[in-house]
Structure 1
Amino acid sequence: MKKISFKLGISFLLVILILEMLLFFFLYIFIARERIENETDNLLGRGMNHRDVLEKNFTPNTIEHVALMEAEGDTKVIITDDQFDIIGASHDFNENMEILIDIGKSMDFTHHGTLVEERWNTERYLATISPIEIDGTYEGYVFMFADTNPIRTMIRNITLLFLVIGGIAIIISIIAIFFLSQFITQPLIKMKEATKNITRQGNAVTLDIHRDDELGELAREIYTLSEELEHLKNERTEFLSSVSHELRTPLTYLKGYADILNRPNLSVEDREKFASIIQEEATQLTEMVKELFLLAKMDKNQFSISKEEIPLCDFLKEIVSKLTPAFMEKNISLQLICAKDIYVNIDPIRFRQVINNLLDNARKYSSESTSVEVVVHEQKYGVSIDVRDQGEGIPEKDLPYIWERLYRVDKSRSRALGGTGLGLAIVKEIVELHGGTVEVKSVLGEGTTFTINISR
């Protein structure tokens, strides 16, 4: 997790550094260029102003007046005649200025003024030339000079300022990123410890599930997962305990009655009776193992559903007709109510198992002279199938658990009736594999209704 915190911090820092460097670079270029352009525009403007004055009155007095105007300023002016000989200056001129005047001689300049030198970072002066045009001919030239040292000083100050600001920004960014990465990674570290606790100690999880952000959502998901894992762990323990109990009981009967059969003085009648009991227990044990294997295949997603479109009423009518004799033995009326032809897309073999299980339960837990009904309702987007009985019903406290494997409402009565406690679990799994749902409503002493909902 420290690696994640370090990588996250470094990533944030690199992104912020790149953004700051780009921002400072463009600001630096913009400010420096703006200042230099202002200086050169100002120099050109002053040169053209002096040129305009001299074009109106090109006399020694005017030349002296122009030179005097620049004597107290930061810029310098030199006025030459048409041969580039100096005829007026605001300051003492030097060799650098003379070189720039010589450069100006060979330039293609315009009446609006031209930059002679603009390399502020290497040369001593910025320089411009503005020709004095009288009656269509150039009678002289105005050279303006600005010392580049103040510009370089300004650029150095800007650079230093940006370095200081950049350094402060980097330090602040590092501190902010450190706390931000800790703020993000600390909950992740706690979640990591929580997942360890889940594997070691069950559901001993303590997380901040009240955060209103993605980390809060993740914490809530982990907490929910821990609860589900604990529930699954308890279910597994109970299931294994129930399986061992359910297998132990018939095996104990088998061994006990097999030992009795080995007694030499056993009568033929008793021998047949005990052999019949052994056969019943073996049949029940075989049925339970078969259903356990079926549920195991469902858990491993090895249970295949092969759907086909079939007429539901004909399908149910066939099942009801085959089971009617078993119901008649207990004097129970079995009726099918299916008004018209309805076609559904189901696996007939697997769905037959669902209906058989529900009807078998209805028969086992219904008293004589009662009725069991299979009622089909056509819904807007699908079909519902009700299996209603008038049996003893299921206590309300047991309803949420009847779908669990090996759960029995009345264990002693269920064993007497030959149930394995797996039938409803199989029903639920098969219906859900069809994309449907199964529900139950029951009133103690009045009966139970199982409702299967499937889409077309």
Structure 2
Amino acid sequence: MKKLSVKLGILFYLIIFGLMTFMFFFLHEGIVESRVEEELSALQARGNSHRAILEKYFNRETIDHVVLMESESTTDVVITDRSGEILGSSVQGSPFQEYLQPVHSDIPWGGKVIENEWKKGPYIATISPIRVNDQPVGYVYMFQDTASVHSLIKGLNEHFIMAGWISVFLTFIIIIFLSKGITKPLIKMKEATSQISKGDFSVILPKTSNDELGDLAKSIKSLANDLGYLKQERNEFLASISHELRTPLTYIKGYADIVLKRNLAAEDREKYLTIIVDESNRLSRLIKELFELAKIDQNSFVIQKERIDLVHFMNKMEEKLSPAFQEKKIKLAVECHPDLCLYADPLRLEQILFNLLDNAMKYSREGAKVTLKGWKARNSIHLSVKDSGKGIPEKDIPYIFNRFYRVDKSRTRSLGGTGLGLAIVKELVHAHGADITVTSEENAGTEFEIIFHEGAQMQ
């Protein structure tokens, strides 16, 4: 993760440094051009000022006065007549001769720049025409040594270099804190995932802002909680399986040894063999249900939906289960709206209702009533199994669909339950895209309701 922070820091630095260099370059060029334009404008304005005086008093005295003024200034002036003959100059000799070429009458009254190559040339220069009675009588040439411009630009460059180094330093510091700020929660998350990979799911992540990093931290925390729950559930599941398998095997082995090694009376022998058969059936049923759950978990079974006439379907269920209910002296009633159809897998639907009805029969007393009911609501079809048995304590309701969870653990063996029936029911109901709910009141009864939504029926 330190490598990531270094990579991020270098990446940010290169991006920001590139942007800063780009902006500094254009800003520098803009300021330089602006300063040169200001110098040229000031030079032109100075020449125009001299021109204005000379237009009023175009004589030797005024020319000498203008020349005298410029001889004490950082700029120089050359005044010529219309033919280009020098009338006055603030500099001895002819350093400006190359600029004093014959001029045309098309020079605007406001003047113009005749030399602006400050980088290569020794001077920048402007010209202003002198007009008397709208006729050109001469010209004012203004010159400024480019050394002063270079000095100005040099000072500007020094300021830019200083600002650049300060910006680079501050950017470097900011990027260090920024990269650490970004990578610190990532380092915490890496440590958390490493902790999870070692089987420790009690991870604690710092609170982060509501951004992508915050969402990632929440996801990791949620994953840790889910894995912790799955680990606990797996351990409980394995413990339950070992218990459920060991118990019938113990009975089978124990009574088989008794039958094999002892000389028993026919009645005792038959009793022990009956126990062995019952425990073998129980073991077979448990293994079958475990295979069912394994298929569901691996999605290796297929839901094959077809159109089911619920009235006919529920009447067939009643025919199959009535003998068992009559033996227990429990009444089974079937109620279904006429012409009610459902798209579902008939074998799986029968398995769902059989498990619910079997539970209802096991936990109901003699003389009780169990009702299988089907009806249509607005956009859904409802099936319910309702009994008037002992009910489920409120504290147990959230867990009854968990594997191997039993409400009445003391009576489980006598009732023959494995604790997997409702888990299978829940998975099969969800495989149909339906929902299952349960309402119960102790000593009053329990009702399981399956809701097939209209959209899920055709899937």
The 3 A distance-change label for structure 1 pair 312 and 72 is: farther
**How big is the shift at 1:109?**
4.8
What is the rounded CA distance, in whole Å, between the counterparts of 2:341 and 2:51 in structure 1?
Answer: 102
Q: 1:389 aligns with which of 374, 387, 390?
A: 387
What is the rounded CA distance, in whole Å, between the counterparts of 1:351 and 1:320 in structure 2?
Answer: 14
What is the rounded CA distance, in whole Å, between the counterparts of 1:79 and 1:214 in structure 2?
Answer: 74
Read off the aligned partner of 1:289 and give its amino acid letter.
I
Match of 1:139 in 2: 137
Match of 1:423 in 2: 421
What is the rounded CA distance, in whole Å, between the counterparts of 2:13 and 2:375 in structure 1?
Answer: 65
Equivalent residue runs for 1:80-159 within 5 Å: 80-89=80-89, 91-93=90-92, 95-102=94-101, 109-133=107-131, 138-159=136-157
Match of 1:241 in 2: 239
Q: Root-mean-square deviation (CA), in Å?
A: 2.7
Match of 2:63 in 1: 63
Mark the runs of 5 or more structure 1 residues left unpaired by the alignment.
none
Percentage of matched positions with identical amino acids:
47
Deviations 1:8-65 (A, max 9, x none): 2122222221232233222212211111112222323333444455455543334334
**How big is the shift at 1:144?**
1.3
Q: Is the 8 A contact 1:408 1:414 kept in 2?
A: yes
Deviates more, 1:112-121 or 1:166-175: 112-121
Q: Is the 8 A contact 1:79 1:140 kept in 2?
A: yes
Which secondary structure state, in structure 1, belongs to the residue aligned with residue 141 of structure 2? strand
Match of 1:10 in 2: 10
What is the rounded CA distance, in whole Å, between the counterparts of 1:101 and 1:257 in structure 2?
Answer: 132
Which secondary structure state, in structure 2, belongs to the residue aligned with residue 262 of structure 1? helix
**How big is the shift at 1:257?**
3.0
What is the rounded CA distance, in whole Å, between the counterparts of 1:258 and 1:93 in structure 2?
Answer: 137
**How big is the shift at 1:143?**
1.2
Match of 1:34 in 2: 34
What is the rounded CA distance, in whole Å, between the counterparts of 1:216 and 1:414 in structure 2?
Answer: 47
Q: 1:442 aligns with which of 421, 440, 443?
A: 440
**How big is the shift at 1:342?**
3.9
| Ranges of 4+ aligned residues in structure 1 off by more than 6 Å | none
Which secondary structure state, in structure 1, belongs to the residue aligned with residue 401 of structure 2? coil
Q: 1:413 aligns with which of 408, 411, 414?
A: 411
What is the rounded CA distance, in whole Å, between the counterparts of 2:310 and 2:120 in structure 1?
Answer: 97
What is the rounded CA distance, in whole Å, between the counterparts of 2:74 and 2:318 in structure 1?
Answer: 113
**How big is the shift at 1:366?**
0.9
What is the rounded CA distance, in whole Å, between the counterparts of 1:410 and 1:77 in structure 2?
Answer: 116
Match of 1:279 in 2: 277
Read off the aligned partner of 2:191 and give its amino acid letter.
E
Read off the aligned partner of 1:18 and give its amino acid letter.
G
What is the rounded CA distance, in whole Å, between the counterparts of 1:433 and 1:373 in structure 2?
Answer: 24
Deviations 1:348-404 (A, max 9, x none): 322221111111111111111111112334344423322111111122222222111
Q: Is the 8 A contact 1:208 1:216 kept in 2?
A: no
Compute the TM-score of the two structures, normalised by the length of structure 1.
0.90
Compute the TM-score of the two structures, normalised by the length of structure 2.
0.89
The 3 A distance-change label for structure 1 pair 129 and 344 is: farther
Read off the aligned partner of 2:424 and give its amino acid letter.
I
What is the rounded CA distance, in whole Å, between the counterparts of 1:170 and 1:150 in structure 2?
Answer: 30
Q: Is the 8 A contact 1:81 1:141 kept in 2?
A: yes
Which secondary structure state, in structure 2, belongs to the residue aligned with residue 129 of structure 1? strand
Which secondary structure state, in structure 2, belongs to the residue aligned with residue 411 of structure 1? coil
What is the rounded CA distance, in whole Å, between the counterparts of 2:23 and 2:316 in structure 1?
Answer: 81
Q: 2:190 aligns with which of 189, 192, 216?
A: 192
What is the rounded CA distance, in whole Å, between the counterparts of 1:298 and 1:62 in structure 2?
Answer: 111
**How big is the shift at 1:329?**
2.0
Equivalent residue runs for 1:123-272 within 5 Å: 123-133=121-131, 138-200=136-198, 202-209=200-207, 214-263=212-261, 265-272=263-270
What is the rounded CA distance, in whole Å, between the counterparts of 1:244 and 1:441 in structure 2?
Answer: 31
The 3 A distance-change label for structure 1 pair 338 and 209 is: farther
The 3 A distance-change label for structure 1 pair 211 and 141 is: closer
Q: Is the 8 A contact 1:385 1:452 kept in 2?
A: yes
Mark the runs of 5 or more structure 2 residues left unpaired by the alignment.
455-459
Match of 1:331 in 2: 329
The 3 A distance-change label for structure 1 pair 398 and 27 is: same
Q: 2:289 aligns with which of 291, 298, 302?
A: 291
Deviations 1:245-291 (A, max 9, x none): 11111222222333334357445554444443333322222221121
Read off the aligned partner of 1:159 and give its amino acid letter.
N
The 3 A distance-change label for structure 1 pair 249 and 99 is: same
The 3 A distance-change label for structure 1 pair 162 and 283 is: same
**How big is the shift at 1:442?**
1.6
Q: Is the 8 A contact 1:386 1:450 kept in 2?
A: yes
Read off the aligned partner of 1:75 and give its amino acid letter.
T
Read off the aligned partner of 1:226 and give its amino acid letter.
A
Read off the aligned partner of 2:9 and give its amino acid letter.
G
Which secondary structure state, in structure 2, belongs to the residue aligned with residue 144 of structure 1? strand
Read off the aligned partner of 1:19 and give its amino acid letter.
L
What is the rounded CA distance, in whole Å, between the counterparts of 1:288 and 1:37 in structure 2?
Answer: 96
What is the rounded CA distance, in whole Å, between the counterparts of 1:306 and 1:58 in structure 2?
Answer: 113
